């Protein structure tokens, strides 16, 4: 049940980095493709003092910088949708002015909250007292939603005091990426994979989210957060849940999210020796020297910029199959991928002819390139007088090639459109968030108990050597 389509979109944090890089370009691209209702109004709000004209000028500059010219359509048409209201989130009178700007005839209101977590509670309270939470109103929440289970529950309680769960849209932008959604199509629209998608045929799964960048503009946030909370708690656990979930009864919000949360609750508590943490030192990325984390930060820190985990899903389908996850900053390349490593064939008929076989491997590339690659064994051409020669051959599905003529969209385009139209399928439910935090909090408690501090690794490497050992002691090599 999707409910109403919003006639007004209210963007909090409308002058911030996310709005300029992602939200405004996504909305403009949707407008260019005639996917927004003709009467949809977009109201930006933030602390900055400016008028409608000033906000439109800010939006124009952001679009010229971040959105390709061929996706802008009639930029004037989009800019005319925009108005602005400055707001001090801690003062009630600001919300009363905002409510007047929105008006009672808003035609259904969708609110997108991209503010500091410390402002969530006063913002919800202000919206509630100004009457901006009643009736046809839904709210989208940008991460981070807390720093642990307790703070996450506090935020969720505050939001729940004004909105029921059916009107709360928690955003994980990875779920807006085409290849992530394609994982569901790959599994549940093809008879080929689902019968072998289990412990009998799959040896292990790898999930890698590697970044080449360092702190950039996120200094204060990242040092308080670290890789485990910034990447594993949300993006990586969502990817794991999509790989491991049982077939949902249908492709709707309740059915899909019911199956994801079952996986998250089945995660075994991580044991000592099943995690590695690291922090980058100075090194080189693409031949250029880069400073270490402490130098960028300006002081020593115990925050991890790299984490590798060996996880287990304790259920019938995945018993005994390890899920290796790693993420880090200042790694050699920017890549997000899922590797499903199948087991060896039970018996090779080719051994007597000198041929060796390799197990099949499915690689799902999410960024920078969206592609799916399946490695298959094939016979090399020849007369075979010296023996049969076999080689692993990749079958590639490059998404841009397979679907030429279709537009490559920003992940936020899908998520903003779903927020406006009321489809929760690609948003994260409260019980998912809390199951994720519960698992991650146990890892942090383990680190604290064992006095585990990050090991140094050179920028431009694949993390501490113990991360390689984490997999290799099981006879597994990271896919690189």
Catalytic residues: 235
20 among annotated binding-site residues: yes
260 among annotated binding-site residues: no
110 among annotated binding-site residues: no
Cα distance between residue 416 and residue 429, in whole Å: 17
Q: How many CB atoms lie within 10 A of CB 46?
A: 23
Q: What is the CA radius of gyration of the chain?
A: 24
Whether residue 102 contacts residue 63, with contact meaning beta carbons closer than 8 Å, is answered with no
173 among annotated binding-site residues: yes
Cα distance between residue 356 and residue 350, in whole Å: 7
475 among annotated binding-site residues: no
186 among annotated binding-site residues: no
56 among annotated binding-site residues: no
Tokens of 398: 């490059």
Whether residue 167 contacts residue 140, with contact meaning beta carbons closer than 8 Å, is answered with no
Q: Which residues make Cβ contacts (< 8 Å) with residue 334, sequence separation at least 6?
A: 210, 211, 212, 213, 367, 368
13 among annotated binding-site residues: yes
17 among annotated binding-site residues: yes
Q: Which residues make Cβ contacts (< 8 Å) with residue 378, sequence separation at least 6?
A: 390, 391, 392, 393
Q: Which residues make Cβ contacts (< 8 Å) with residue 401, sequence separation at least 6?
A: none
The CA dihedral of 448, 450, 453, 455, to the nearest 10 degrees, is -150
Whether residue 47 contacts residue 87, with contact meaning beta carbons closer than 8 Å, is answered with yes
14 among annotated binding-site residues: yes
Tokens of 185: 């199509």
18 among annotated binding-site residues: yes
Work out the end-to-end distance of the chain between its first and last CA atoms, rounded to an integer number of angstroms. Answer: 43
Q: Give the H or E element holding residue 78.
A: helix 75-79
47 among annotated binding-site residues: yes
Q: Give the H or E element holding residue 310.
A: strand 306-312
Q: Give 340's strand partners.
A: 205, 362
Q: Which residues make Cβ contacts (< 8 Å) with residue 139, sequence separation at least 6?
A: 110, 111, 112, 113, 133, 159, 163, 167, 168, 169
Q: Give 280's strand partners.
A: 457
Cα distance between residue 71 and residue 364, in whole Å: 27
DSSP string covering 281-331: ESEEETTEEE--HHHHHTS-----SEEEEEEEB-STTTTT-EEEEEEESS-
396 among annotated binding-site residues: no
Binding residues: 13-20, 47, 143, 173, 177, 211, 230, 329
Annotated binding site for NADP(+): 13-20, 47, 143
Tell me the binding residues for substrate.
173, 177, 211, 230, 329
């Amino acid at each position: 049940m999707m409910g109403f389509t919003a006639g007004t979109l209210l963007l909090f944090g409308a002058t911030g980095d996310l709005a300029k890089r992602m939200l405004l370009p996504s909305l403009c691209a949707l407008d260019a493709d005639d996917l927004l209702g003709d009467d949809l109004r977009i109201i930006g709000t933030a602390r900055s003092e400016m008028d409608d004209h000033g906000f439109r000028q800010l939006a124009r500059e952001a679009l010229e910088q971040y959105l390709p010219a061929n996706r802008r359509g009639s930029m004037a048409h989009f800019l005319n949708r925009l108005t602005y209201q400055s707001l001090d989130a801690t003062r009630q009178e600001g919300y009363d002015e905002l409510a007047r700007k929105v008006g009672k005839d808003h035609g259904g209101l969708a609110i997108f909250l991209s503010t500091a977590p410390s402002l969530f509670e006063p913002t919800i309270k202000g919206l509630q007292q100004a009457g901006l939470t009643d009736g046809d109103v839904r709210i989208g929440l940008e991460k981070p939603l807390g720093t642990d289970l307790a703070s996450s529950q506090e935020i969720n309680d505050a939001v729940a005091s004004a909105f029921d769960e059916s009107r709360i849209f928690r955003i994980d932008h990875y779920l807006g990426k085409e290849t992530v959604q394609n994982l569901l199509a790959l599994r549940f629209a093809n008879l080929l994979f689902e019968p072998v998608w289990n412990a009998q045929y799959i040896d292990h799964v790898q999930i890698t989210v590697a970044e080449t960048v360092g702190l950039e503009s996120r200094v204060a946030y990242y040092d308080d957060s670290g890789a485990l909370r910034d990447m594993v708690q949300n993006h990586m656990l969502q990817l794991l849940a999509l790989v491991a979930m049982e077939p949902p009864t249908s492709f709707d919000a309740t059915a899909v999210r019911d199956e994801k949360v079952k996986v998250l609750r089945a995660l075994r508590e991580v044991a000592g020796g099943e995690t590695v943490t690291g922090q980058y030192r100075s090194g080189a990325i693409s031949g250029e020297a880069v400073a270490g984390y402490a130098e960028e930060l300006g002081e020593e820190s115990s925050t991890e910029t790299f984490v590798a985990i060996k996880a287990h899903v304790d259920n019938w389908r995945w018993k005994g199959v390890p899920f290796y996850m790693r993420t880090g900053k200042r790694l050699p390349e920017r890549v997000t991928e899922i590797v499903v490593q199948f087991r060896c064939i039970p018996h090779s008929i080719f051994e007597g002819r000198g041929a060796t076989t390799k197990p099949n491997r499915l690689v799902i590339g999410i960024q920078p390139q969206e592609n799916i690659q399946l490695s298959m064994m094939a016979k090399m051409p020849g007369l075979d007088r010296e023996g049969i020669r076999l080689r692993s051959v990749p079958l590639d599905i490059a998404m841009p090639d397979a679907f030429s003529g279709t537009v490559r969209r920003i992940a936020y385009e899908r998520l903003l459109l779903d927020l406006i139209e009321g489809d929760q399928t690609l948003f994260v439910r409260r019980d998912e968030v809390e199951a994720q935090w519960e698992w991650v909090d146990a890892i942090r408690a383990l680190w604290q108990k064992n006095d585990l501090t990050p090991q140094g690794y050179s920028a431009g490497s694949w993390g501490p050597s113990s991360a390689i050992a984490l997999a290799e002691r099981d006879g597994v090599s990271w896919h690189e």
